[in-house]
Amino acid sequence: MKSVLIGLFGLLFFISCKAQKIINDISFQVQKDSVELKDIGFVTVENLYIKLKNGEKEKRANDLIFELSENFINNSEINKSIEGKKALLESCNDSEISNCNYIVEKYQILYEKNGLINIEYKFHPLFSPREYYKYACYDLNKVAKINAKDFLKEPITFLEVCNTKIEEKYKEYPSDSDGYEMVSEYLENKNKITIEDLDEIRIIRDDVGGRVSGITINFQPFGGVYSFLNMDNLLYFKIKELKPYLKEDFKKQLGLE
């Protein structure tokens, strides 16, 4: 049986990340707890919680961010809180543990400034060590998820730029390598990436100074047994390259204006 994230003997623990002042009275907390599963042991439950001065906005923001969770996507009736996730995991003890579909999760704040936050969501199935990533941006001033149409001036134009970059990178793929036929077939497909694929962005910051240096779009064209064909940073853009395509409000939130 695959190893899982181990909790601390079932005791409730709560980790609060250092408050990040991005607009008035905003802080972030990573909530953690653990549940004991039969034949496995303790499994960690994690949830990202945002504290705002306005209670109504706080609830809306946390409900919105909770929807990033794969556990919510698979079980939309659960309570949008760490308690809801705990209850979902605890329900695995009611049947064969091998049927448990709980997703182990981890959250990280990559960027927090001017009301904009960028979240990295890492997850893997309970019985699989393979990790997956999702990225999302939220505007806490408006309490809204930011999609490509919100931060790009001309999404269709930028889509063409992305497709060109993908083609150029994969044309260099060695013809004698495993998976070359899959790569060739992919390059013949004219619809390699969609506007919706542009929603998942990862904001990259300089190690020194913390200024935004670029953005990576989390797009991986190959899945399943062909996932080894995916290239790291396939759609990485330096900020100078990307800046002409960004809307003014988004550039201000990134500290570029």
- Same domain (yes/no): 85, 102: yes
- Same domain (yes/no): 19, 116: yes
Residue 112 and residue 253: Cα distance in Å, rounded?
9
State residue 190's pLDDT score. Answer: 60
Torsion of CA 212, 216, 218, 223, to 10 degrees: -150
102 pLDDT more than 70: yes
- Same domain (yes/no): 32, 155: no
Are 46 and 107 in contact, with CB atoms under 8 Å apart?
yes
Partners of residue 202 on adjacent β-strands: 216
**Residue whose C-alpha is closest to residue 118's, from 204, 182, 184:** 204
Cβ atoms < 10 Å from Cβ of 47: 23
pTM assigned to the model: 0.85
Are 79 and 69 in contact, with CB atoms under 8 Å apart?
no
- Same domain (yes/no): 47, 142: yes
**Is the residue at 32 inside a domain?**
yes
Partners of residue 139 on adjacent β-strands: 116, 144
The beta-carbon contacts of 56-65 under 8 Å, at least 24 apart in sequence, are 57/140, 57/143, 60/143, 61/138, 61/140, 61/143, 64/138, 64/143, 64/144, 64/145, 65/119, 65/136, 65/138
DSSP letter at 203 equals: E
209 pLDDT more than 80: no
Residue 232 and residue 218: Cα distance in Å, rounded?
10
Percent of the chain with pLDDT over 90: 67
Tokens of 193: 């990436």
Percent of the chain with pLDDT over 70: 90
- Same domain (yes/no): 120, 69: yes
pLDDT digits (tens, 9 = 90+) for 105-145: 999 999 999 999 999 999 999 998 889 999 999 999 999 99
Distances (CA, A) of 47 to 30, 34, 80, 149, 173: 6, 12, 10, 28, 40
One-letter amino acid at 134 equals K
Residues 6+ apart with CB under 8 A from 39: 1, 97
How many domains would you assign to the chain?
A: 2
State residue 22's pLDDT score. Answer: 43
Last residue of a domain, one of 94, 116, 146: 146
**Is the residue at 108 inside a domain?**
yes
Residue 9 and residue 1: Cα distance in Å, rounded?
20
- Same domain (yes/no): 135, 18: yes
pLDDT digits (tens, 9 = 90+) for 56-81: 999 999 999 999 999 999 999 999 99
pLDDT band (50, 70, 90) for residue 239? very high
pLDDT digits (tens, 9 = 90+) for 167-176: 888 888 888 8
- Same domain (yes/no): 169, 134: no
Q: Which domain holds residue 202?
A: 148-253
Last residue of a domain, one of 146, 161, 190: 146
Tokens of 238: 């330096």
- Same domain (yes/no): 213, 120: no
- Same domain (yes/no): 18, 133: yes
Tokens of 134: 């999702």
Residue 154 and residue 157: Cα distance in Å, rounded?
5
- Same domain (yes/no): 97, 209: no
**Is the residue at 4 inside a domain?**
no
Are 179 and 195 in contact, with CB atoms under 8 Å apart?
no
Which CATH number goes with the domain that contains 108?
3.30.565.40
Quickly tell me which residue has 């497909």 as its tokens.
189
